[in-house]
Amino acid sequence: MSVTDASGAPGSSSSQQGADGGAPPWRPYLRADDRGNGANAVEVALNEVRGKIYPRSVSGVFARWRVVFVLLTQLVFYGLPWLQWEGRQAVLFDLGARKFYLFGLVLWPQDVVYLAVLLVISALALFLFTAVAGRLFCGYACPQTVYTEIFMWIERKVEGDRLARIRLDESPWTARKLRLKLTKHALWILVAWWTGSTFIGYFAPIRGLGHDLLTLQLGPWQWFWMLFYGFATWGNAGFMRESVCKYMCPYARFQSVMVDPDTFVVTYDKGRGEPRGGRSRKLDYKSAGMGDCVDCSLCVQVCPTGIDIRNGLQYLCIGCGACIDACDQVMDKMKYPQGLIRYASQRAVEQGWSPRQARARLLRPRVLVYAAIITALAVAFVAALALRNPLRVDVIRDRGVLAREAPGGIIENVYRIQLINTSESSLVLQLQASGLPGLDVHVERQAAQAIELEPYANKLVPVVIRAPAQAAAPGAHPIMVRASGRDRAGNTVQRDENASFYMPE
């Protein structure tokens, strides 16, 4: 089967093959004309100047799911920075202090491995969902989809549905057109600005941002990111829309290697729908040799990326299910069974399998391998976090003084010891050293040898480690520095760190 490459140019491309070598489900971008005439579908080169798409609103099961996901994702995004935890912002990426606060967890630069593991788990979860049900993330949770939904909702409320918007755009400029366009953009800018402000609220305490904004006391980087993120939201969701998926999103490019013929994707049942054509509801269309598709083009009109799913699965399909809702409504009106367009695997449609037979193929080896790796990583991640030592110790030698002699035949080495408390509880610590006979640790510039460390704080402590001159031969000797103590609840904390002690000639 000949397919096209990702640029939409005709030809064969192995990158478009299903991963198991089965028939490739991906097609080039075959676009109906912008008024939804699927019969005029043409193959479109990637670099073709796009026409504006006017998606029609649709209701149905998948439209409701999209609304649910818009609300859920925005509740999380807009609400999370306002949550408090132990008197501070629950989620805060404080780049200046180099601390990431995630509820009870505080990650330091040394903990970057935890973030890396989280990213790996997220990437694998994306692979898993894509292998099971195609571009679920794109259709329901991708920020581009979600903000486009919000902006299109505002557009519909202000300018009307598809035909009203087309007429408005084609009409000459009048006071009414100006008022509608200004209202739409004012609302878009309000959402974009709120989004940009929320974004920087993840990096600076959000509760002071309103005051800093009104008094023009935001820092230059805060201004930059608020305006940049707000502008990107306005531009991407208001104007770029499907072009972001088409030209900018890398996921759209490599998704074809993550699906196979058993992946559930939005599929037009060609065997049932063709030959398509308009007909009267009373016509015995089966006797007339017609399929179930009445060629109403509604599935194209509701598509946010302007494609005709009847031409096969195309990489521009974000799996939103809008065409399923539209087609099911048409099937209801015609009193035909629903599901001419449906979530189904390519193999199930070709073999005429029942949904149950198709679902039985969900737990195939690639899905099980992804699930097993994710489970193993998640267990390791949770265990590592639970067993994480809240105390970090770093021993830094004083470069200026290698060793010095003190009265009484004592040799002194000077260090700075960095202590980091990553817990919510303050710590009281003592320092000890071992590895040579008679080692003694003295904390400088304070009378008491106990060191107090506030929650989530770090401290650089100057110390002198002493040893009798006869304790070892001249040269460097490995020693171990131990910081130990208790937290407020009385739990013991302890951390050992290797260092070296230098004995002069």
Token output for 361: 């193929």
The nearest distance, CB 142 to ligand SF4, in angstroms, is: 12
> Is residue 340 within the footprint of ligand SF4 (CB under 6 A)?
yes
> Is residue 290 within the footprint of ligand SF4 (CB under 6 A)?
no
d(CA 341, CA 353): 15
Q: Which of 32, 204, 298, 493 touches ligand SF4 by CB under 6 A?
A: 298
d(CA 123, CA 25): 23
H/E segment holding residue 271: helix 270-273
> Is residue 266 within the footprint of ligand SF4 (CB under 6 A)?
yes
Segment 302 to 321, residues that bind ligand SF4, using CB under 6 A: 302-305, 307, 309-310, 317-321
Q: What's the Cα-to-Cα distance from 21 to each of 148, 186, 312, 314, rounded to whole Å? A: 35, 50, 18, 18
Q: Which of 43, 212, 295, 394 touches ligand SF4 by CB under 6 A?
A: 295
Which residues 6+ apart lie within 8 Å of 359 measured at CB? none
> Is residue 53 within the footprint of ligand SF4 (CB under 6 A)?
no
Whose CA is closest to 20, among 265, 256, 217? 256
* Residue carrying structure tokens 């290698």: 402
Q: Which of 204, 322, 344, 483 touches ligand SF4 by CB under 6 A?
A: 322
**Which of the stretches 141-149, 196-204, 287-295, 486-494 binds ligand SF4 when contact is defined by CB under 6 A?**
287-295
d(CA 361, CA 374): 20
Q: Is the CB of 308 or the CB of 487 nearer to ligand SF4?
A: 308
Q: Residue 177's CB: how many other CB atoms inside 10 A?
A: 14
Token output for 202: 């993840």
Q: Is the CB of 200 or the CB of 318 nearer to ligand SF4?
A: 318
The nearest distance, CB 70 to ligand SF4, in angstroms, is: 15
Build a one-symbol-per-residue string for 234-253: x at contacts with ligand SF4 by CB under 6 A, - elsewhere. --------------------
Build a one-symbol-per-residue string for 355-394: x at contacts with ligand SF4 by CB under 6 A, - elsewhere. ----------------------------------------
Token output for 99: 């601390």
Beta carbons of 103 and 90 less than 8 angstroms apart = yes
| Backbone dihedral angles phi then psi of residue 499, each to the nearest 5 degrees | -150, -175
Q: Is the CB of 44 or the CB of 298 nearer to ligand SF4?
A: 298
Q: Is the CB of 243 or the CB of 426 nearer to ligand SF4?
A: 243
Q: What is the binding site for ligand SF4 (CB under 6 A)?
A: 266, 273, 276, 293-299, 302-305, 307, 309-310, 317-323, 326-327, 330, 340-341
